[in-house]
Structure 1
Amino acid sequence: MNLTSRQRAYLKGLAMNIDPIFQIGKSSLTPELTQAVSEALEAREIIKISILKNCADEGNTLAQMLAERTHSTVVQVIGRKIVLYKPAKEERKRKIVLPN
């Protein structure tokens, strides 16, 4: 999903007010973590993830890999924080309405 700059800015604004719900550590991206992120995206649509200092992988690389595996969109990567977005499959469950 390609976001316009306006949509990305809107999502960044929403992400400012949420806390990270996952941490990526030494074991990096495990199948369990990927599954949990996917489930959280379905429930929340936008999530923030922290990368711990003991994780050797680069933030942008992790973000791209997670986005591919969960079929989501990388909103932003700032330092050791990743923000991912994925609209809910069912339209009636969608909480976030993107501007056009």
Structure 2
Amino acid sequence: MLTGKQKRFLRKHAHHLTPVFQIGKNGLNDNMIEQIDETLEKRELIKVSVLQNNFESKEDLAEQIANGTGAYIVQIIGNVIILYRESREYKQIDLP
């Protein structure tokens, strides 16, 4: 579980990032969760954009991704989900 201080730290680092994945009208599938998992291993911190034509709740989508990848939800702001998971091989971010 992330503390408030750690979430603020991660939000600061995620500010300049652009969304790596987009979830559209087809929603999430196992392949997309697997790709997000691989990307989290390389980058640790990513943004996922939820398009307007997706009618699922952003909170539900974020929970599905977090459960499928073992990531933490840092923030859901607008149509963007920010996710963090510490990398085993490519550790770049040291949390406070």
TM bin, normalised by shorter chain, reads: over 0.9
Percent identity among equivalent residues?
39
Q: What TM-score, normalized to structure 2?
A: 0.97
How far apart are residue 89 of structure 1 and its match?
1.7
Structure 2 partner of 1:67: 66
How far apart are residue 42 of structure 1 and its match?
0.2
Count of aligned pairs between the two proteins: 96
How far apart are residue 7 of structure 1 and its match?
0.4
SS at match of 2:75: strand
SS at match of 1:28: coil
Q: In structure 1, what is the Cα distance between the partners aligned to 2:24 and 2:31?
A: 13
CA displacement 1:12-40 (0-9 Å, x = unmatched): 00111100010000111111110110000
Q: Structure 2 unaligned runs (5+)?
A: none
SS at match of 1:57: coil
How far apart are residue 54 of structure 1 and its match?
0.7
Q: Structure 1 unaligned runs (5+)?
A: none
The one-letter code of the counterpart of 2:93 is I
Q: In structure 2, what is the Cα distance between the partners aligned to 1:89 and 1:72?
A: 13
Structure 1 residue ranges, 4+ long, deviating more than 2 angstroms after superposition: none
Q: In structure 2, what is the Cα distance between the partners aligned to 1:62 and 1:14?
A: 22
Structure 2 partner of 1:77: 76
Matched, 1:88 2:87: yes
